[in-house]
Structure 1
């Protein structure tokens, strides 16, 4: 469940809404098939791409909330001729009136495909990364060895786990997860990384293992891991430093943007 669908489920318990979904596109369009927004009397949850397309769809949805007949077929919108948008494609929108009876299971119905991420570390950078990923197509398994490190208001696509020792949680990571390692100590980082590499060697189900830190930290870790029997083919699985190249800032929020961008490059929607 992502944050937007969770908000919609909550909102439906109090007031009706109109669900507007992109069910088909032709040519260039601002958003892809499956994108949705929910129009309530005084607010909107989600987005179908902004601009005139969204403005007109909100206006039409509010007429449905006011009692107009809900169309049974998708509305065809030619972005150029109809709205003067430069995209030039065609979008088909389906309108659906929702009430409290529709809340159950709605989030699952609207859930877009997500990729799993395991984040070791609840410090400043970990917190910033979690905030970034909460709004992106990822489900986050967030792990730390310290008590009471996690915020109390994490969104539904984030699962927090206190694990001591922290590396014990490596066995529970979902297959296919991208792993981010940034605990509060280098000793913990090393143990987490060693178990991730061993699992990757045996199961080949961790496609991305990222270690925060400098090149010198990674060089030191390589030396210590070599002493444990790891080799070049194991080290080739590790990304360190993490984040897209060319972003030099060290502020937690800057690192979080760089890391989120790298994950989107690897695992985001095509």
Structure 2
């Protein structure tokens, strides 16, 4: 929904009511995942997608009908292989879509906010229509009729951890409730220490994937707007000051690219003491081996040391800065969505030989 906010503002500026459809369940090879949203006005002006083009027209009609009657409806669409082929997809599937006559205030608030929350909505069964909000710290605001708060919390936090919206079935005294968990994760932050040539290529690629980009370096010459015109934030400081200003947390993906021990070592020390989602460090296998020995001497455990991805990036075979940046983002993506872990040495690769 976040990516549709500009379109929502544009459509509502006309004064026309704007409804929403959101994918709640997917079976087969449907092209769009749970949480994919589409907006439409009563006269059929659309934004977003629930199926990659297969059922958008039918969905727009459902939204118009929902606006007219003023109530939501759960709709099932089957996308045939033939229809999918017509719009350039390999095969079809089945999706369930929650069609609503408007965008609920809590959805807008979550989409416009910093993230780290889940909106739970009962789409079928006991307590249909009820909703609640679960925050990243486990706080539950509101209640779903008959659903124990601890079960809702566990399911919502699991979805938030995976950064994937999902539909779950929760038992209540009145029977089963089908609950759609719409995830609004915190925006991931790419934290780069070392404004080197790879960082220059990495920043715009990361922004395409939705990262907020922060580049820090203790060297003024490496940290200019000419080098990083698109970076969200530039911090001229040593690792201690820079990371303290950033506030490292679980939304951070840290790339240590300075290739200078006086920067690398304090940066690694601080990164490993943080809950960062990803830590990668540039350097050859020989450099990584020496670095691991140094980390052991600093008192870090083998499990902690294994958090460092080094050599940084998946082994894709390329060596140009943009190719290395792509390899780093590929590894970050694998960690983000698949829980990939281990060092480059253990994975048998690493994109940077230097």
TM-score (norm 2): 0.55
- Aligned partner of 1:90 in structure 2 is 95
How far, CA to CA, are the matches of 1:60 and 1:240 in structure 2?
Answer: 52
- 1:179 paired residue among 254, 262, 272: 254
Q: Deviations over 1:246-266 (max 9, x none)?
A: x01123332233222222222
The alignment of Structure 1 onto Structure 2 pairs a total of residues equal to: 253
Alpha carbons of 1:269 and 1:239: their partners in 2 closer, same or farther (altered >3 Å)? Answer: closer
Q: Deviations over 1:71-92 (max 9, x none)?
A: 7313321222994663232332
Q: How far off its partner does 1:176 sit?
A: 6.2
Q: Deviations over 1:151-207 (max 9, x none)?
A: 5656xxxx525141233333420146432212375532233113323x25xxxx345
- 2:322 paired residue among 253, 257, 266: 253
- Aligned partner of 2:216 in structure 1 is 144
Alpha carbons of 1:151 and 1:229: their partners in 2 closer, same or farther (altered >3 Å)? Answer: closer
Q: How far off its partner does 1:211 sit?
A: 0.5
Query: Equivalent residue of 1:180, what SS?
Result: strand
Alpha carbons of 1:207 and 1:250: their partners in 2 closer, same or farther (altered >3 Å)? Answer: same
- Aligned partner of 1:237 in structure 2 is 307
Alpha carbons of 1:18 and 1:174: their partners in 2 closer, same or farther (altered >3 Å)? Answer: same
Q: Which runs of 5+ in 1 are unaligned?
A: none
The answer to whether the 8 Å contact 1:125/1:256 transfers is yes
How far, CA to CA, are the matches of 2:70 and 2:200 in structure 1?
Answer: 43
How far, CA to CA, are the matches of 1:148 and 1:235 in structure 2?
Answer: 32
Query: Equivalent residue of 1:89, what SS?
Result: strand
The answer to whether the 8 Å contact 1:79/1:91 transfers is no
Query: Equivalent residue of 2:240, what SS?
Result: helix
Say yes or no: does 1:165 pair with 2:238: yes
The answer to whether the 8 Å contact 1:29/1:87 transfers is yes
Q: Deviations over 1:205-253 (max 9, x none)?
A: 3453210232233244345x269535662533321112223x0112333
TM-score (norm 1): 0.68
- Aligned partner of 1:52 in structure 2 is 54
- Aligned partner of 2:198 in structure 1 is 125
- Aligned partner of 1:195 in structure 2 is 270
How far, CA to CA, are the matches of 1:196 and 1:183 in structure 2?
Answer: 14
The answer to whether the 8 Å contact 1:29/1:91 transfers is no
Say yes or no: does 1:213 pair with 2:297: no
- Aligned partner of 2:79 in structure 1 is 79
Alpha-carbon RMSD: 4.3
Q: Deviations over 1:23-70 (max 9, x none)?
A: 33345422222111345899865433414234654x648x949x9777
The structure with more strand, counted as a fraction of residues: 2
How far, CA to CA, are the matches of 2:243 and 2:234 in structure 1?
Answer: 11
